[in-house]
């Protein structure tokens, strides 16, 4: 089992990190933004009174117009009363809010579905139904979440009858769909037949009951499916802790305990609570057991525990940090996407089965190159450790909604059928935001090949937090440079626990490599006006010089710095120690994420006023960088003019750079000079039919540092874009410099990017 023992290293995120993540900036995980301009008197007159009266009347006359004039068609409510929050039990409506906000942002992130969380403070099924039933006009769908059984069955059934939009209890059907998909594949790999395979489901609540209903509908024999709960086996005649939903699955058997039920069983579904399965139980299962321990956040048994006793198991959990994540996140965003796009009145069984089959089929397909990127650069192959795609698989967004939409149309519940499915699939792919999978890929690759990263400013609190996070995320070793006493005191005061494997502290002055580093620096600097004692002082007192030398001499893999020095000072320090890669030019590239679109901008850090030759070099360097990040570059050489108009000296430099690239016969798309709006807007670009870019640019080469810096900072401050970088590209050893006000999360992202560049 290719997993690390996380129990030894602690969880991948600490409690403190989780709280800080939720409280940083605006508390919580989502906000609402208007989609129409709201600037002038005219805007107000249109958005509100009197203009708003017009769509009101139109909708009153024809309710379907609400899909044209309001958010309804793309809006899902995530609704809970907090009675079964993950596997943590009944902690109440308010405590469920972080999970519901989380589901809402996953809707957005994975399928571009807008979503809002609603926490309803009642455990009474009738009250809950009465609260939700009247909300129908606001939403295109209702995702019920973390409501305990048996009330969830009553609530969902009633709401489905009362509402004319999809009502979907995710813990029931989402889980059933994903586990069914994984099961189809696990059965194939282990050569089992549904008709004869024996399955035990531990947990007879929302998820457990729905999962066994679906497996029986798929072909499992009812007498081969044993349900268990806290009282043991649900057998015919049992009276304690029963309800009608459990009774429907009670079997005639002498077995009374989970251990007895599992003896000789082929498959176990854990939909109960942490630790409910013991190694002895797993040991007693049949050859090639299929173990889906799906309780969250901690599974019924861990993959490490199983690996200790069996080598023949197919193991899945609900978590993202092990192979085979069987979690409803693979389903709900895409199922609703498909349902909303055909304005479905419901999500019926045919749509659920279609989703399960599409998901199962995806894992069996060969993984194309651009998808392999989402799998840690490790092309997965259908088999024991890959029975189901990962949530970051970019194919999910087109495969699942298409299957769901088709099934809705075939079963007559689509109010607006899709006529061109191929075009629909293409539009779906355009909805996904590639940068998140890019960062995920970076993290995953580093996790597979952990690296030693030097955090040069080890005495700073946010740097320590970043180092802890780096280690907790199993990215490798974090080396904090600084005075040990000082670091420990700051850590103590800030409540940061540095006492864990993987964190090292190095005091430059006391390092046993100190003399070697000073010699190295002197060798480089002696003809640049530096005496030996200048170099010794730099190694002793300047953490950037010390950290960079560690990496230059192979004592560490990468450096991250920048919170205590301005960018150019830190870069000068680093450049005294590390050269450009032979044949390369050092540049800064910034990744800008704006409204679901990603563009890479260069040079945002190094060349103040590049000449044409340098602009051409920058274009080559950033195009290579874009490829490494998983994008096929379409490079726009930007200026204030477009193809010669208006003329001017600055634009001429850019025109000349384009000619230089022509001579170099580079292997990527580029053109210019052009203005930023032409580069980014397909319609404007079409006014220049000779333009050689095949679509809007995803790489922008700026005419000078000042315009690059001004543009990216304005995007960040005014446009609400996320800007990662400037990232240093072209250095011989990986170093990244963060900005002066960087937070721990920025620092750890940069550390991961630096570690990624350290390669294999």
Ligand X SMILES: NC(=O)C1=CN([C@@H]2O[C@H](COP(=O)(O)OP(=O)(O)OC[C@H]3O[C@@H](n4cnc5c(N)ncnc54)[C@H](OP(=O)(O)O)[C@@H]3O)[C@@H](O)[C@H]2O)C=CC1
Q: Please say which residue, 87 or 450, places its beta carbon nearer to ligand X.
A: 87
Residue 713 a catalytic site member: no
Q: Please say which residue, 80 or 190, places its beta carbon nearer to Mg ion.
A: 80
CA distance 159 to 42: 41
Asked if omega into 50 is within 30° of 0 (cis), the reply is yes
The interface with ligand X within residues 71-130 (CB under 6 A) comprises 84, 86-87
* 252, two tokens: 């005639």
CA distance 173 to 167: 11
CA distance 708 to 698: 15
* Minimum distance from residue 143 beta carbon to Mg ion (Å): 10
- Assign 329 to helix, strand or coil: helix
Binding segment for ligand X (CB under 6 A), chosen from 266-274, 303-311, 392-400, 607-615, is 266-274
Residues touching Mg ion: how many (CB under 5 A)? 2
Q: Is 146 in the site for ligand PYR (CB under 6 A)?
A: yes
Return the half-sphere exposure (C-beta side, CA atoms, 13 A cut-off) of residue 308: 9
Give per-residue burial for 181-201: e unless 16+ CB within 10 Å, then b: bbbbbbbeebebebeebbbbb
| Residue 579 host element (H or E) | none
* Minimum distance from residue 371 beta carbon to ligand X (Å): 23
CA-nearest of 701, 430, 421, 736 to 574 is 736
CA distance 448 to 552: 23
| Cβ atoms of residues 414 and 721 within 8 Å | no
| Cβ atoms of residues 73 and 86 within 8 Å | no
Q: Is 117 in the site for Mg ion (CB under 5 A)?
A: no
CA distance 127 to 142: 17
* Minimum distance from residue 240 beta carbon to ligand X (Å): 9
Site string for ligand X, 131-170 (x = CB under 6 A): -----------------xx---------------------
- Assign 383 to helix, strand or coil: strand
| Cβ atoms of residues 634 and 669 within 8 Å | yes
Q: Please say which residue, 337 or 634, places its beta carbon nearer to ligand PYR.
A: 337
The item of ligand X, ligand PYR, Mg ion, none sharing an interface with residue 348, based on CB under 5 to 8 Å by kind, is none
| Cβ atoms of residues 462 and 747 within 8 Å | yes
Q: Is 119 in the site for Mg ion (CB under 5 A)?
A: no
Binding segment for ligand X (CB under 6 A), chosen from 52-60, 125-133, 196-204, 662-670, is 196-204
Q: How far from the centroid of its chain's Cα atoms is residue 743's Cα?
A: 19
Site string for Mg ion, 133-172 (x = CB under 5 A): -------------x------------------------x-
Q: Please say which residue, 328 or 438, places its beta carbon nearer to ligand X.
A: 328
Binds ligand X by CB under 6 A, chosen from 318, 458, 630, 725? 318
Instruction: Provide the 8-state DSSP code for 36.
Output: S
Binding segment for ligand X (CB under 6 A), chosen from 109-117, 120-128, 283-291, 320-328, is 320-328
* Minimum distance from residue 105 beta carbon to ligand PYR (Å): 14
Going from the C-alpha of 706 to that of each of 455, 603, 676, the distances in angstroms are 29, 9, 15
Binds ligand X by CB under 6 A, chosen from 2, 219, 222, 241? 241
Residues touching ligand PYR: how many (CB under 6 A)? 8
Q: Which residues pair with 700 in a beta bridge?
A: 601, 636
Residue written as tokens 């990624």?
756
| Cβ atoms of residues 328 and 176 within 8 Å | no
* 406, two tokens: 């088709």
Sign of the torsion formed by the C-alpha atoms of 126, 128, 129 and 130? positive
Q: Is 273 in the site for ligand X (CB under 6 A)?
A: yes
Q: Phi first, then psi: what are they for 32, rounded to 5°?
A: -110, 135
Q: Please say which residue, 204 or 727, places its beta carbon nearer to ligand PYR.
A: 204
- Of 36, 57, 69, 103, which one is the catalytic site residue? 103
Residue written as tokens 């251990």?
259
The interface with ligand PYR within residues 321-380 (CB under 6 A) comprises 327-328
The item of Mg ion, ligand PYR, ligand X, none sharing an interface with residue 273, based on CB under 5 to 8 Å by kind, is ligand X
Q: SS3 sequence, 98-118?
A: HHHHHHHHHHHHHHCCEEEEE
Residue 36 a catalytic site member: no
Site string for ligand X, 275-304 (x = CB under 6 A): -x-----------------xxx--------
* Minimum distance from residue 564 beta carbon to ligand X (Å): 43
Q: Is 208 in the site for ligand X (CB under 6 A)?
A: yes
Q: Is 300 in the site for ligand PYR (CB under 6 A)?
A: no
- State the residue number with the nearest CB to ligand X: 205
The item of Mg ion, ligand X, ligand PYR, none sharing an interface with residue 286, based on CB under 5 to 8 Å by kind, is none
* Minimum distance from residue 624 beta carbon to ligand X (Å): 40
The interface with ligand PYR within residues 154-183 (CB under 6 A) comprises 170-171
- Of 4, 29, 48, 287, which one is the catalytic site residue? 48
CA-nearest of 693, 611, 708, 624 to 654 is 611
Cβ neighbour number for residue 88 with a 10 Å cutoff: 18
* Minimum distance from residue 540 beta carbon to ligand X (Å): 53
Cβ neighbour number for residue 39 with a 10 Å cutoff: 8
Q: Is 327 in the site for ligand X (CB under 6 A)?
A: yes
Binds ligand X by CB under 6 A, chosen from 328, 549, 709, 757? 328
Contact positions toward ligand PYR, by CB under 6 A?
A: 86, 146, 170-171, 296, 318, 327-328
Question: Which sequence positions are flagged as catalytic?
Answer: 48, 103
Contact positions toward ligand X, by CB under 6 A?
A: 84, 86-87, 148-149, 171, 175, 202-208, 228-231, 241, 271-273, 276, 294-296, 318, 326-328
Contact positions toward Mg ion, by CB under 5 A?
A: 146, 171
């Amino acid at each position: 089992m290719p997993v690390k023992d996380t129990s030894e290293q602690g969880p991948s995120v600490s409690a403190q990190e989780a709280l800080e993540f939720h409280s940083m900036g605006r508390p919580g995980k989502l906000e609402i933004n208007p989609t129409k301009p709201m600037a002038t008197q005219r805007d107000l007159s249109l958005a509100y009174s009197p203009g708003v009266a017009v769509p009101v009347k139109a909708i009153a006359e024809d309710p379907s117009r609400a899909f044209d004039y309001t958010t309804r068609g793309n809006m899902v409510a995530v609704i809970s009363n907090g009675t079964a929050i993950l596997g943590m039990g009944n902690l109440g409506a308010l405590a469920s809010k972080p999970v519901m906000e989380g589901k809402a942002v996953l809707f957005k992130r994975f399928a571009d579905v807008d979503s809002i969380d609603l926490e309803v403070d009642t455990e009474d099924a009738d009250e809950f139904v009465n609260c939700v039933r009247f909300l129908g006009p606001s939403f295109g769908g209702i995702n019920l979440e973390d409501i305990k059984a048996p009330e969830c069955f009553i609530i969902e059934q009633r709401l489905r009858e009362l509402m004319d939009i999809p009502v979907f209890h995710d813990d029931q059907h989402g889980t059933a769909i994903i586990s069914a998909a994984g099961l189809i594949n696990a059965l194939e790999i282990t050569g089992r037949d549904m008709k004869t395979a024996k399955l035990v489901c531990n947990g007879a609540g929302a998820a457990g009951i729905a999962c066994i209903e679906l497996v029986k509908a798929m072909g499992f024999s009812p007498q081969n499916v044993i349900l268990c709960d806290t009282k043991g086996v649900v057998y015919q005649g049992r009276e304690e802790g029963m309800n009608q939903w459990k009774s429907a699955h009670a079997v005639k058997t002498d077995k009374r305990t989970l251990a007895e039920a599992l003896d000789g069983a082929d498959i176990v579904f854990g939909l109960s609570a942490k630790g409910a399965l013991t190694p002895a139980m797993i040991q007693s299962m049949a050859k090639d057991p299929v173990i889906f321990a799906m309780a969250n956040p901690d599974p019924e048994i861990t993959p490490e525990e199983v690996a200790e006793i069996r080598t023949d198991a197919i193991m899945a959990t609900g978590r993202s940090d092990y192979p085979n994540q069987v979690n409803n996140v693979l389903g709900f965003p895409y199922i609703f996407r498909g349902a909303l796009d055909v304005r479905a009145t419901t999500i019926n069984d045919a749509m659920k089965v279609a989703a399960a089959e599409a998901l199962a089929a995806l894992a069996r397909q060969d993984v194309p190159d651009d998808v392999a990127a989402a799998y840690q650069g490790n092309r997965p192959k259908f088999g024991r450790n890959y029975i189901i795609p990962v949530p970051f698989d970019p194919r999910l967004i087109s495969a699942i909604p298409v299957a769901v939409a088709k099934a809705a149309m075939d079963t007559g519940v689509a109010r607006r059928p899709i006529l061109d499915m191929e075009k629909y699939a293409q539009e779906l792919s355009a909805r996904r935001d590639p940068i998140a999978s890019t960062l995920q890929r970076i993290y995953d690759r580093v996790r597979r090949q952990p690296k030693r990263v030097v955090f040069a400013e080890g005495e700073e609190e946010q740097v320590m937090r970043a180092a802890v996070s780096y280690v907790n995320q199993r990215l490798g070793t974090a080396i904090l440079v600084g005075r040990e006493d000082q670091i420990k005191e700051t850590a103590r005061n800030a409540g940061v626990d540095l006492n864990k494997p993987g964190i090292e502290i190095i005091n430059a002055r006391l390092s046993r490599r100190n003399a070697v580093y000073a010699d190295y620096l002197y060798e480089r600097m002696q003809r640049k006006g530096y005496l030996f004692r200048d170099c010794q002082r730099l190694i002793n007192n300047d953490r950037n010089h010390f950290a960079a030398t560690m990496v230059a001499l192979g004592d560490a893999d990468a450096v991250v710095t920048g919170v205590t020095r301005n960018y150019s000072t830190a870069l000068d320090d680093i450049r005294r120690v590390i050269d450009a890669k032979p044949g390369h030019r050092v540049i800064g590239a910034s990744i800008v994420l704006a409204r679901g679109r990603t563009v890479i901008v260069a040079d945002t850090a190094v060349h103040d006023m590049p000449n044409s030759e340098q602009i051409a070099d920058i274009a080559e360097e950033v195009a290579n960088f874009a490829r490494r990040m998983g994008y096929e570059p379409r490079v726009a050489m930007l200026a204030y003019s477009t193809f010669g108009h208006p003329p001017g000296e600055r634009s001429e430099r850019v025109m000349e750079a384009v000619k230089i690239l022509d001579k170099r016969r580079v292997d990527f798309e580029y053109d210019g000079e052009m203005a930023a709006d032409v580069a980014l807007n397909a319609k404007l670009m079409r006014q220049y039919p000779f333009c050689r870019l095949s679509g809007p640019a995803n790489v922008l080469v700026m005419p000078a540092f000042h315009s690059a810096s001004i543009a990216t900072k304005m995007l960040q401050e005014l446009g609400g874009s996320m800007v990662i970088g400037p990232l240093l590209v072209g250095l011989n050893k990986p170093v990244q410099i963060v900005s002066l006000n960087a937070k721990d999360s920025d620092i750890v992202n940069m550390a991961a990017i630096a570690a990624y560049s350290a390669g294999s």
